[in-house]
Amino acid sequence: MKKSDASEKLLPEKQGEEAAEGGLRRRLWEENKKLWVVAGPGIFTRFSIFGITVISQAFIGHVGSTELAAYALVSTVLLRFANGILLGMASALETLCGQAFGARQSHMLGIYLQRSWIVVLLCTAVLLPIFIFTTPLLRLLGQEPLIAAAAGRIALWFIPIIFSFVFSFTFQMYLQSQSKNIIISYLAAISLALHVLLTWFAVSKLSLGVTGVMGSMILALWIPIFGEFAYVVGGGCPETWKGFSRVAFQDLWPVVKLSLSSGAMLCFELWYNTVLVLLTGYMKDAETAIDALSICLNINGWEMMISIGFLAAAGVRVANELGAGSAKNAKFSIVVVVTSSLVIGFVLFVLFLLFRGSISYIFTESSKVASAVADLSPLLAFSILLNSVQPVLSGVAVGAGWQSLVAYVNVACYYVFGIPLGAVLGYLLGFHVKGIWMGMLIGTAAQTFVLCLITWRTDWDKQVALAQARVSRWVVPTADQYNGREEAA
């Protein structure tokens, strides 16, 4: 009898544990599905867009060395500068659309999209003089006149490209906040394939040189935008796109403030590696150092496409759950996305440590450069490991609307701490490029630690209240809601 009583007491406890375990597995499965619906297409799209710039550089390299140097200068300095600002400002839309969609105020997404177009277009117009007066600017900075002149001609081709960012970035934020960004992946794949074909034909068959490459690049970046516009306006988003509205021109200042905060946050991150290259340029035997560093940063750039995909997924999931009023689900989403990205980062970390001696030969035939790359590979591996966490936490910040706070953290950790430490290690202590990279890596580690601490200590119930207050403050009633209020009155 006693045995039976004990069995009866243990059975509900065992069933409860099994139910809890089954519930956790089910939650993990559901959360991972929601995560990869955003992250998967996001990663593929970024690989495709990054591939377009790499393919263009490869073809221009066959046109001439001066043209290659000019293209590299414009794409790595000017385009990265503009890209950082415009992507950062567009990421404000990720906060607004994500929280509004979670709060079931779907009609606001189309209005936020149009407001973001206005704000980011104005910002792009402000950036135009940099591309129009590239040649005199580069000459003022001491660049060789021949390269400066070629860069000035290529920079004019980039003007339609930076305007394409206005729409590609904002459409991406708008669609991924609804987990509908698979259409962007299809269009990116088509444009990448088309770019390869058109560039080959223009350069190899028509001998159009730089004109053929840049013309094909412009087409490759604008074709997906027309496809996304047709998808949105043609009925792909019936709940969130209600047509063009004059309301989009109202209440622009809050969007401007959030866009500027977002722009500052991402700019300080994206420009960090540019400073690394500039500091390396003053090293002894700078040519080998820059060649080795550029190979490492190229590998790191490809891996960053994965991290940025997870950044987008983190932003969407956190914003959706905060807008829906669930602090518990927001915290669970953060744990799942950080863990998923960290696992991928750790696998790549191990691979680069194991194959560091042979990876460089994909990019160079110089044994001297290959040896320098092998020497830098441990730092590259640790960069990849940190990059699997740090951008994801930045995505959490975007989802919660902490852009201003993270901008201050980035300035302190990167520019007040990391870069000066790198300069001391590289120049004063004689560690050269490794010292510069170590200092900047320590700055990234400090920023990651601070973001982890902020995320851990955050009162997420308070963040839910703030998100819902933001949605309520900026919401515009639909026609049905307005009529309902009139009838109630």
What tokens appear for 305 in the block?
């496409």
Q: Are residues 322 and 375 in the same domain?
A: yes
Domain boundary among 229, 261, 293: 261
Do 247 and 278 share a domain, yes or no? Answer: no
Instruction: Say if residue 247 is in the same domain as residue 292.
Output: no
Cβ neighbours of residue 375 closer than 8 Å, sequence gap 6 or more:
292, 434
Can you say whether the dihedral through the CA atoms of 409, 415, 420, 425 is positive or negative?
Answer: positive
How many domains is the chain partitioned into structurally? 2
User: Can you give the pTM of this predicted structure?
Assistant: 0.80
Provide the pLDDT for residue 174: 92
* 452 and 333 share one domain: yes
Instruction: Clarify whether residues 255 and 296 are in a common domain.
Output: no
Taking the C-alpha atoms of residue 78 and residue 70, their distance in angstroms, rounded to an integer, is 11
Q: Return the H-helix or E-strand segment holding 331.
A: helix 327-354
| Residues spanned by the domain of 420 | 271-474
Look up residue 68 and give its two tokens: 């290659």
Instruction: For residues 80 and 441, give the distance between their C-alpha atoms in angstroms, rounded to a whole number.
Output: 20
Name the strand (E) or helix (H) holding 295.
helix 286-324
Gap between the Cα atoms of 112 and 92, Å rounded: 10
Residue 1 lies in a domain: no
**Would you tell me how many other CB atoms lie within 10 Å of the CB of residue 76?**
17
Q: Is 7 among the domain residues? A: no
C-alpha span between 454 and 444 (Å, rounded): 15
Among 190, 77, 174, smallest CA distance to 130 is for: 77
In this structure, how many other beta carbons lie within 10 angstroms of the beta carbon of residue 114?
Answer: 19
Q: Quick one: 129 and 190 in the same domain?
A: yes
Answer yes or no: do 98 and 220 share one domain: yes
Distances (CA, A) of 247 to 66, 88, 106, 250, 476: 49, 24, 15, 5, 8
CA atoms within 13 A on the CB side of 315: 35
CA 452-454-457 angle, to 5 degrees, is 105
Handedness of CA 29, 34, 39, 44 (dihedral sign): positive
CB atoms within 10 A of CB 21: 10
Residue with tokens 């140097």: 69
DSSP for 192-227, please give it: HHHHHHHHHIIIIIS--HHHHHHHHHHHHHHHHHHH
Question: Quick one: 229 and 317 in the same domain?
Answer: no
Q: Which two tokens stand for residue 83?
A: 């890209």
Q: What is the DSSP string of 416-432?
A: IIIHHHHHIIIIISS-H
Q: Which of 184, 148, 158, 150 lies closest to 309, judged by CA?
A: 184
Task: With respect to residue 350, please indicate whether it lies within any of the assigned structural domains.
Answer: yes
Contact between 168 and 221 (Cβ < 8 Å) = yes
Question: Tokens 């043209």 appear where?
Answer: 67
Instruction: Assess whether 227 and 373 both reside in one domain.
Output: no
**Quick one: pLDDT at residue 278?**
59
Largest CA distance in the chain: 98
Q: Using an 8 Å Cβ cutoff, are 89 and 117 in contact?
A: no
Answer whether residue 461 is part of any domain: yes
Say whether both 275 and 193 belong to one domain: no
- What is the token pair recorded at 109? 């997404």
Looking at 261, 288, 320, which one is the last position of a domain?
A: 261
Does residue 87 sit within a domain?
yes
Spacing of C-alpha 435 from chain mean position: 27
Is residue 20 a part of any domain in this protein?
Answer: no
In a shared domain, residues 155 and 69: yes
What pLDDT score does 481 carry? 46
Examine the fold and report which residue of 261, 295, 310 is the final residue of a domain before the chain moves on: 261
Q: Residue 12 domain-assigned?
A: no
Please check whether residue 82 lies inside any domain of the structure.
yes
DSSP string computed for 100-120: HHHTT-THHHHHHHHHHHHHH
Identify whether residues 295 and 371 lie together within a single domain: yes
| CA distance linking residue 131 with residue 452, whole number of Å | 38
| Local mean pLDDT, 10-residue blocks, the chain (489 residues) | 50 51 79 86 84 83 77 80 83 85 86 92 92 89 81 93 93 89 90 92 87 93 94 90 86 79 72 62 53 68 80 88 89 91 88 72 64 76 85 87 85 86 83 80 90 91 87 66 40
Gyration radius of the chain's alpha carbons: 25
